[in-house]
Amino acid sequence: MAGIGAPRVLVDGKLVGPAEVGVEQGRITGVTEGPGRPDTLRLPHGVLTPGLIDVQLNGAFGHDFVAADATAWREVAARLPSTGVTAFCPTFITGDLDTLTAALVRAAELRAKLAAEPIARDLGVHLEGPFLSPARVGTHPPEYLREPTPELVDRLLLDDAVREALTLVTLAPELPGALEAIRRIVAAGIRVSAGHTDATAAEMSAAADAGATMVTHLFNAQRGLGHREPGVVGAALSDPRLTPGLIADLHHVVGPVCSLVLRVAGERTALVTDAMAAAGMPPGRYRLGDVDVTLVEGDVPRNPDGTIAGSALTLDLAVRNLIGLGNPPARVLTSATRVPADALGRTDLGRIAPGATADLVWWSNDWTVLRTWIGGVVAYEAPTL
């Protein structure tokens, strides 16, 4: 395939077009405005964008990543392109450390095993816990919470297989030893996000000084915005070093507030799903790590005491939700593509630019995913095409 032409193409945060995206050996060779060469695949309508990237995905399609075997893991990765997702961070919530480290070793093995297949790219595990605040535990099992002592951090960093599995760690920066833990984790090449935290704005600034670069699911399980104490939310919205993750299912964060975040921190906001096994599934009972979760029609997944437990969101629906609220499509799409890629330091993903991987999505004019390519190979095609 020499290239793909579309009426509109997302390039450098703007929708341009008509334009042709050159593709050769799984990489993008360039972008040319105009109708394209005769051998170009011409999309008759809609928008061509980079593939979506979800840095917080606990599971989907009936499977939880902590417990998933190779077949289940591959099924999730193979079905994600139907939602426009071409790369993701499998996410593990707080649990027994022995169980988590074993799951991390298995995750590293599966990542290597599945890397060559035309399925959504596994970018490495996002470990959400166990170094979280008891005051902001959310649905995480409180009995497994731990302070980030040097000994426990060693368990993540000194075992080669465990360290190789990790891409991102969420922790509460106000915990004893957390700032040193952040420095050590970042020095090992792993990103750190502040989450499930009661930190003040000053403590968040100290975390950013230590190397933290993200905020996990903005507004949820964290100190909110105050007019005298900006808290975690104030820091996330105002500190240019931080990338806030936003769950745009309109339940975790209501529509007007989602739009406000995009206006205030739009160029730094990363859309995430925080989806769990219920995503893409009918109402029923599912697992999130060690937690039993129930999904009821029209609601979000909840644990037995009613606390929100992840989401059933897909990233393409998050895009439709935010565009439907009147937000500029280019800004919304950039928050689901380039911003999360940049947050992980992956400049080869999330953009239509020379040298980037040819992970692409063709959207209809009403923002439905019609076709998804991974490395220039079709990974999903809508049945109606």
pLDDT in tens, 188-212: 999 999 999 999 999 999 999 999 9
Tell me, yes or no, whether 270 and 223 share the same domain: yes
pLDDT tens per residue, range 307-342: 888 899 999 999 999 999 999 999 999 999 999 999
Q: Is the pLDDT reported for residue 271 higher than 90?
A: yes
> 275, 278, 269: which is closest to 316 by C-alpha?
275
pLDDT tens per residue, range 172-194: 999 999 999 999 999 999 999 99
Tell me, yes or no, whether 327 and 371 share the same domain: no
Q: Is the pLDDT reported for residue 149 higher than 90?
A: yes
39 falls in which pLDDT band (50, 70, 90)? confident
pLDDT tens per residue, range 72-106: 999 999 999 999 999 999 999 999 999 999 999 99
Give the strand pairing for 63-64 and 59-60.
Answer: antiparallel
The answer to whether 340 and 319 have CB atoms below 8 angstroms apart is no
Express as a percent the part of the chain with pLDDT over 70.
99
Which whole number is the average pLDDT over 361-372? 98
Tokens standing for 253? 């964060």
* pLDDT at res. 289: 81
Check which CATH number belongs to the domain holding 366 and give it.
2.30.40.10
How far apart, in Å, are the Cα atoms of 117 and each of 63, 90, 345, 348?
Answer: 19, 17, 23, 18
The answer to whether 349 and 50 have CB atoms below 8 angstroms apart is yes
Express as a percent the part of the chain with pLDDT over 90.
90
* pLDDT at res. 36: 66
384 falls in which pLDDT band (50, 70, 90)? confident
Q: Is the pLDDT reported for residue 1 higher than 70?
A: no
Tell me, yes or no, whether 10 and 134 share the same domain: no
Q: Is there a binding annotation on residue 382? A: no
Tell me, yes or no, whether 278 and 313 share the same domain: yes
Tell me, yes or no, whether 32 and 141 share the same domain: no
Q: Is the pLDDT reported for residue 35 higher than 90?
A: no
Q: Is there a binding annotation on residue 321? A: no
Residue 160 annotated to the active site: no
Which whole number is the average pLDDT over 115-133? 96
17 falls in which pLDDT band (50, 70, 90)? confident
Predicted TM-score of the model (pTM): 0.96
Tell me, yes or no, whether 318 and 360 share the same domain: no
> 190, 201, 194: which is closest to 216 by C-alpha?
194
Tell me, yes or no, whether 107 and 215 share the same domain: yes
Tell me, yes or no, whether 33 and 169 share the same domain: no
Q: Is the pLDDT reported for residue 385 higher than 80?
A: no
Q: Is there a binding annotation on residue 310? A: yes
Domain that holds residue 169: 52-347
Q: Which of 54, 64, 274, 342 is catalytic?
A: 274
Tell me, yes or no, whether 71 and 112 share the same domain: yes
The residue with tokens 């952040």 is 182
- Burial group, residue 384, by CB count within 10 angstroms (0-12, 13-18, 19+): exposed
Check which CATH number belongs to the domain holding 101 and give it.
3.20.20.140
218 against 299, higher pLDDT: 218
Tell me, yes or no, whether 135 and 83 share the same domain: yes
Q: Is the pLDDT reported for residue 248 higher than 70?
A: yes
Q: Is there a binding annotation on residue 306? A: no
Tell me, yes or no, whether 42 and 175 share the same domain: no
- For the chain, the average pLDDT equals 95
Tell me, yes or no, whether 127 and 3 share the same domain: no
Q: Is the pLDDT reported for residue 161 higher than 90?
A: yes
What is the residue type of 65?
A: F
Q: Is there a binding annotation on residue 365? A: no
| Number of structural domains in the chain | 2
Instruction: Name the region of 310 (left: φ>0; alpha: ψ -120 to 50; beta: rest).
Output: left
